[in-house]
Amino acid sequence: MKIIRVAGVSITAAVAAVLLAGCTGSDQAMPGMDHGTPPSASQPPAEAGQHNDADMAFAQGMIPHHTQAIKMSQLAPERAQSEQVKNLARQIEAAQGPEIDTLTGWLKGWGAPAPQSGMSGMDHGDMPGMEHGGMQGMMAPEDMQTLQEAKGAEFDRMFLEMMIKHHEGAVGMARTELAQGQFSEAKQMAEQIISSQQAEIKTMQDLLKQG
């Protein structure tokens, strides 16, 4: 019986050693069983960053469109008579400047060419929705020259009339993006443009009535 007990102890010790080795080496000895490692974060969701031609056209068209609105607004501090017009111009510039930066960033991320934010040397005659060499609602060079030469109440009237047309063009472009675009952030910007610029159109129409 003494021999049997010793053997039993030897067998038990051997089993314990095997179990202990299994516990301490389980992370390496059992491939595919490491449940503590999260899925790779380098794989983005399937929908992330997806865009189509309509998204690129929206960004490429809205950059020069916004740029012209900003250039028109920058004339107001020196040439406008109405403080309401000056305030509206500041509001337009503050809103559309950051949107240009965002649109430019999207195009760079997509590997698509981004229009220059300056108005000189722009030729968009081959892009859809052109009017007078520009996008919907864009002012012709002679219109911009006339606005630059106006001052006081005349400038206020011209600025409001031209910016209403300009905003209406932007709203049309944004609606096209909502209907045809795919990139979710671009569609969100389109919704914001429609909402904010329609409100500004109403404000400008009211100012014209007051004048």
How crowded is the C-beta side of 111, counted as CA atoms within 13 Å? 3
What domain count does the chain have? 1
Q: How confident is the model at residue 70 (pLDDT cuts 50, 70, 90)?
A: very high
Whichever domain contains 92, its CATH number is 1.20.1260.10
Q: Which has more confidence, 80 or 211? A: 80
Tell me whether residue 139 is in a domain. Answer: yes
* pLDDT mean across residues, the chain: 79
Tell me whether residue 8 is in a domain. Answer: no
SS (H, E, C) 86-110: HHHHHHHHHHHHHHHHHHHHHHHHH
Q: How confident is the model at residue 83 (pLDDT cuts 50, 70, 90)?
A: very high
Q: Please write the tens of the pLDDT for every residue from 179-200.
A: 999 999 999 999 999 999 999 9
Average confidence (pLDDT) over 114-133? 46
User: Residue 190 corresponds to which amino acid?
Assistant: A
- Evaluate if residue 208 carries a pLDDT over 80: yes
Tell me whether residue 4 is in a domain. Answer: no
Tell me whether residue 92 is in a domain. Answer: yes
Q: Which has more confidence, 30 or 95? A: 95
Average confidence (pLDDT) over 105-110? 96
Tell me whether residue 72 is in a domain. Answer: yes
The predicted structure's pLDDT at residue 15: 38
Tell me whether residue 77 is in a domain. Answer: yes
Tell me whether residue 24 is in a domain. Answer: no
The predicted structure's pLDDT at residue 3: 43
Average confidence (pLDDT) over 11-20? 40
pTM of the model: 0.71
The predicted structure's pLDDT at residue 4: 42
Tell me whether residue 30 is in a domain. Answer: no
Quote the domain boundaries for residue 103: 53-117+125-210
The DSSP result for the chain, as a single string, is: -HHHHHHHHHHHHHHHHHHHHHHHTHHHHSTT--TTSPPPTTS--TTTT---HHHHHHHHHHHHHHHHHHHHHTTHHHHB--HHHHHHHHHHHHHHHHHHHHHHHHHHHHT-----SSSTT---TTSTT-BTTBSTTPPPHHHHHHHHH--BHHHHHHHHHHHHHHHHHHHHHHHHHHHH---HHHHHHHHHHHHHHHHHHHHHHHHHHH-
The predicted structure's pLDDT at residue 10: 43
Q: Please write the tens of the pLDDT for every residue from 132-190.
A: 344 689 999 999 999 999 999 999 999 999 999 999 999 999 999 999 999 999 999 99
Question: Of 206, 203, 205, 177, which Cα lies nearest the Cα of 52?
Answer: 177
Q: How confident is the model at residue 116 (pLDDT cuts 50, 70, 90)?
A: confident
Q: What percent of the chain has pLDDT over 70?
A: 68
